[in-house]
Chains A and B, each alone.
Chain A
C-alpha cells in the first residue's frame, strides 16, 4: 500500500503562538514560510477567538486556505529546552511563493529533529571520533584538539597545500552568509588553502565563469520578469520540479495570460499577449507538459535536442537573428564592446580556439558572429531537431512585435552547467541575450535558475587560481594529508565516484588502522601514528555535517552542525532576495552552527601553534572570538558584502519573508533596506569599463575527454538530474518514510521498446555500467523517452549516478555529468519494496 500517516487530527495553533520568519531550507527559490510554536501541553480551539487564523475551524476550509496545514508541516521540537508544537507553513504574504509549498519545502515540519516523534533522530548530536575501531562520542574540546593537532602537523610537514577542504559555498541550509564567512575566514583568511572544492563539483570554481567573464552576473533579473516576458527560453532546466514555486507563481500566470494587464500597465507603449515558452531539453519533462496545459500547445516549443548540442543551437539562433536584422543595435553600441573588436582587449578567455589562460582576447560583435556563425540547417543536423522548429523559436525570441523589441527571458541551469562545453555554451547564450538587448530590462534577463539558495561572502579566493586544482583527482592520486569536509558528500555527488570511493576508503583505512594501534589517551602517540600513516599515503578525514554521511563512513572525526532554524541564518534567492530565517528550535544535542565550529577550530589551531612556539602563524588565527552566528554575520556580511553596511538581523527580521533584493543601496526613513530589483538597468556591466563582452564560441563537438569514445562504445545515454520529491542528495529524504515509500531506489526512465529488448519490466533493478564504473537503478517506463536515451535520478544514495560519470571536465574543471553513456542489464526482478509502486506516466491529464 501507499504510505499513509493515519493522522486524523492536528493540534490547533493558538492565537498567542510565537511567530518566526523563515525560508525554505532548500532550493534557490527560497519560498517564505511562517513558523508557529507553542507549548506542547496546550493548543488552540476551533472558535475564531481560539486560533491564530481567527476563523471557525469547525468548518471545512476552501481551496488555498491559509487556515490549514498538512501533517508534514507539523512536529514537536525543543525550543530553549522546552517541548513545543511547531507548524512550518508557506507564507501567503511572501511575494516569492504566494503561499505555495512544494513537496519538499512543505515537509520542513516532519524533517525537523524530534526525540518525541522520532523524526530525523539519526542527526549528529555529539562530536564523534574513531576510537577502539568504531565511532565513539567525545567532547568538542577533545575532538577539536585532535583535528587541530593533526591539521597543524600536516601543514608543518607539507605546507597549507597538504590541507584539503570540501566546503559548501551556497545559501539555505548547510550554508548561508554566516557559515560561508566562518569557513571562508578560516581557509582563505587565516590560511590560503588552494586545494578546496565545492559541494557538487571537484574544484573551487564558478559554475558560470563565462557569464561573469563577460560582465554579466548570473542572477541579473527579478522573478517578475518571468511574468512580463513575451517569451521565456528555458534551457536545461526542469523548472516545475526544480524551481517549483517560481514556475508556478510567476511563469504559469504569464503562460495563462493572467499577467497581460500587468504588462500593459508597466510597459504601456507596446503590444502584449500571453507569454510563450521555448524549452530546450533532450527529454520531455513534466515542465513541458504543464506549459502545454497552461499556454496551449501552439505557444510551447519543445526542442528535444541531442544531448550536449545546445551550443550549436544558440549559435544558429544568433546567426539567424543577426541575418534578419533583429539584433538590438543601440544596446550593442552603448553597453557592450561594440561591433568592432577594440584594440588591446585583454580579460580572460580560456576556451577560445587555440586560446589559453595566457592569451585572452575579447571580440566585437562582428568578429564574434563571424567566428560563431552556424546555419540553421547545420544546427538542425547537429541538434537532431527540424530546422523549422529552430527558426520558429528564433522568431519567438527576437522577431519585433509591431516594430517593438520582443522581450525574452533566458533561464538556464544544470542541463548546460553540467553539460558539454560549459564555458562556450553559456558564453554563446549570453551573446544571444546581449545581442537582443535582453539584460537589465523588464521581461528580460539571462539567468541561471539555480540549485541551492546563495549566501556567499568570503575573503578573496584569488590565490586558488584558474583553472582551480582538480581536488578529487588529487585525492585519488594520493595528495593531501588531512581533509576537512563541510556539508559535502562526494560519495553521492561527484564524478568518477566509484574510483574516488575506492581510493578514499583505502587511504582513510590506513589512518584508522594506525589509530587502532595506540591508546586514545596518549595524544602525542596518536598524532604521531596518524602522521606516520599519512606519510605512507593515508588521509585523515574530518566530516562536519548535520547527519552521518556516506563519505563520513570513512572519516575519523564527525562534528555535529546545526542547520537553518536551529540557528539564525541569512541567504538570498534566485532574484537576489535576501531574508533571514530566525532560530525557531534548538539544535540537536551539542550541535553548533558551522560558523562557530570554524571559529572554535581556529581557536584550537591558534592554541596548538602557540604551544609549538609559532606565534607568527598563530596570530593569523585571531579574530575568531564569535559567540553567536550574529557575530559571524556582522564580521562577514555586514562588513564585507556590497551594501552589507545597511543590513542587520534586526532590519531583516522587520522585513520578514519579502526581505530586499541585493545589493542593498541604503535604508529608508522607516528603517527598511532599499534593494535592487534588477541588475544592469543603467547598462553598466560588471567589467572594468562597464561594457559587456562577447565571446568567440564555435561548436566543437563533445569537449570533455573520453566522452566521444564513451558515446561510441556504450548504447544508452544516461541523462540525469532531479525529481520533484527529493531535495539534493536525499540527506533528509533517505529518512523520510513518505519519500522512501515512493523512491526506494533511484529510477531510470527508459523507452518501453528498449525495455522489451532487454527483457525488462517496470520496477526491475538494473545495472548501469561503462568504462568508469557501475551503479544500479529501478526501471520506470516512459514512452516519451527517445530510443537509447534514459534519464536517471542523480545523487541518490541507493544508486549513485556519479559512479558511471567519467573524470572528464572542461578547461576550468567543470564536471560534465550529463553526457554519460553506458550499457544496461537486469540485476533482479522488482523487489518487495517496489511492488506497491505506480509506474504510470507522471504527466497531468485533463478531464
Chain B
C-alpha cells in the first residue's frame, strides 16, 4: 500500500516536471546543485525570427533588435573574437535582451569594457561571458538569445535562456 502511494507521488512529481517541458505546462525549475546541468529541457515553442545579416554588424557596435516580439528589446553584438555562446564564422556574434532582469530598466552597452549597465540599480552584465551578472541585484544572469546563422549569413533567434522581465511567459499570448 505504502509503495503504491509512493509511486503515485513520484508519478505526480514527474508529471509536474514533465509538463514544464511543454508549451502548456508549469514552470521548469533547474535542480539546485546542478549549476552546469544540461538545459532543463524546457521550453515553450519560440518563433524563429531573422534579426539581421552578418554584414550588418560591426565589432562592438550593438545592433538594436527585438525578440521574440517587438515589445522585447535586445541587441546583437559582434565581439571580434570568439566568446561564450557566440555564433557565426568567427564564433563572436551574440544576442541579449536589454531589459534588466532586476526591475526592468533599459540597459546600455559600454563598449570600453563590453558590459551592459543598468541605470536603475547599477547592475552590470558581461557580454563576453554569456551575460554573467558581474555585479547587481538581478537574481539571474542576462537572458541570451539562441542564435543560428545560415549559409547566407542571416542571423536567426530561436530561443531565450532565461525568463524576460515583465512577462510570465517569454512568448506572450
Contact = CB atoms under 8 A, between A and B. Distances in A.
Interface stretch (A99-107, A148-156, A365-373, A465-473): A99-107
B63 interface: no
A116 interface: yes
Contact of B32 (A69, A83, A736): A736
A820 interface: no
A102 B173 CA distance: 30
A637 B170 CA distance: 47
Given A5-B162, A842-B135, A58 B173 contact: yes
A7 B134 contact: no
B74 interface: no
Interface in B81-136: 84-85, 99, 101, 103-106, 108, 110, 112-113, 115, 117-124, 126, 128-136
B168 A12 contact: yes
Contact of B161 (A6, A10, A290): A6
Nearest to B73: A60
A149 B113 CA distance: 63
B163 A70 contact: yes
Contacts of B130: 1-2, 4, 836
A670 interface: no
B171 interface: yes
A213 to B, nearest CB: 38
Contacts of B144: 4
B25 to A, nearest CB: 8
Contacts of A69: 168
B169 interface: yes
A293 B106 CA distance: 17
A71 interface: yes
Contact of B166 (A2, A61, A293, A741): A61
A10 B135 contact: no
A62 B120 CA distance: 13
Contacts of B61: none
Contacts of A100: 103, 121, 137
B77 to A, nearest CB: 15
Contact of A110 (B16, B29, B165): B29
B1 interface: no
Given A4-B140, A4-B144, A100-B103, A74 B29 contact: yes
B134 A71 contact: no
B140 A738 contact: yes
A10 B129 contact: no
A586 to B, nearest CB: 15
Contact of B141 (A3, A107, A117, A289): A3
Contact of B132 (A62, A248, A837, A845): A837
A847 B138 CA distance: 19
A1 B28 contact: no
A7 B32 contact: no
Given A59-B71, A75-B29, A738-B139, A6 B34 contact: no
Interface in A38-86: 40, 43, 46, 57-65, 68-76, 83, 85
Interface in A349-365: none
A72 B84 contact: no
Nearest to B169: A9
Most buried by A among B12, B105, B136: B136
Provide the main secondary structure of the chain B interface. loop
B30 A74 contact: no
Contacts of B160: 8
B27 to A, nearest CB: 5
Contacts of B142: 2
Contacts of B119: 844, 846-847
A313 B61 CA distance: 48
Given A74-B27, A103-B136, A107-B139, A63 B170 contact: no
Interface in B52-88: 71-72, 84-85
A244 to B, nearest CB: 7
Contact of A62 (B17, B34, B41, B104): B104
Interface string B138-173: 111111100000000000000011110111111111
A474 interface: no
B103 A103 contact: no
A740 interface: yes
Nearest to B143: A4
Nearest to B162: A4
Interface string A228-260: 000000000000100010001000000000000
A9 B122 contact: no
B167 A61 contact: yes
B139 A106 contact: yes
A577 B71 CA distance: 40
Nearest to A51: B168
B51 interface: no
A7 B42 contact: yes
B81 to A, nearest CB: 15
Provide the main secondary structure of the chain A interface. loop
A64 B168 CA distance: 14
A160 to B, nearest CB: 41
Contacts of B105: 63
A823 to B, nearest CB: 28
Contacts of A117: 29, 31-32
Interface stretch (A118-126, A303-311, A545-553, A639-647): A118-126
A106 B71 CA distance: 25
A737 interface: yes
Nearest to A245: B137
Nearest to B41: A6
Contacts of B2: none
B8 interface: no
A192 interface: no
B33 A68 contact: no
A663 B88 CA distance: 64
B26 interface: yes
B140 A741 contact: no
A57 B108 CA distance: 26
Contacts of B32: 110, 117-121, 735-737
B39 interface: yes
B7 interface: no
Contacts of A844: 117-119, 122-124, 135
Given A3-B35, A117-B29, A742 B124 contact: no
B44 A8 contact: yes
A174 to B, nearest CB: 20
B30 to A, nearest CB: 5
Interface in A800-821: none
B145 to A, nearest CB: 12
Given A2-B84, A102-B137, A7 B40 contact: yes
Nearest to B123: A844
Nearest to A99: B103
Contacts of B171: 8
A503 B171 CA distance: 58
Interface in A493-543: none
A119 to B, nearest CB: 5
Contacts of B27: 7, 9-11, 71, 74
B84 A1 contact: yes
A286 interface: yes
B134 A838 contact: yes
A840 B113 contact: yes
Contacts of B33: 118, 735, 737
Given A116-B16, A836-B132, 10 more contacts: A1-B84, A2-B130, A9-B27, A57-B167, A63-B105, A106-B137, A836-B84, A837-B132, A844-B119, A846-B117
16 contacts: A1-B84, A5-B162, A8-B42, A8-B170, A9-B169, A59-B172, A60-B166, A65-B104, A72-B140, A107-B139, A116-B13, A116-B17, A286-B122, A724-B136, A841-B113, A844-B122
In the A-B complex, the 9 residue pairs with the closest CB atoms: A63-B104, A842-B135, A844-B122, A72-B139, A2-B132, A2-B130, A60-B71, A737-B35, A838-B126
Interface of B: 12-13, 16-17, 25-36, 39-44, 46, 71-72, 84-85, 99, 101, 103-106, 108, 110, 112-113, 115, 117-124, 126, 128-144, 160-163, 165-173
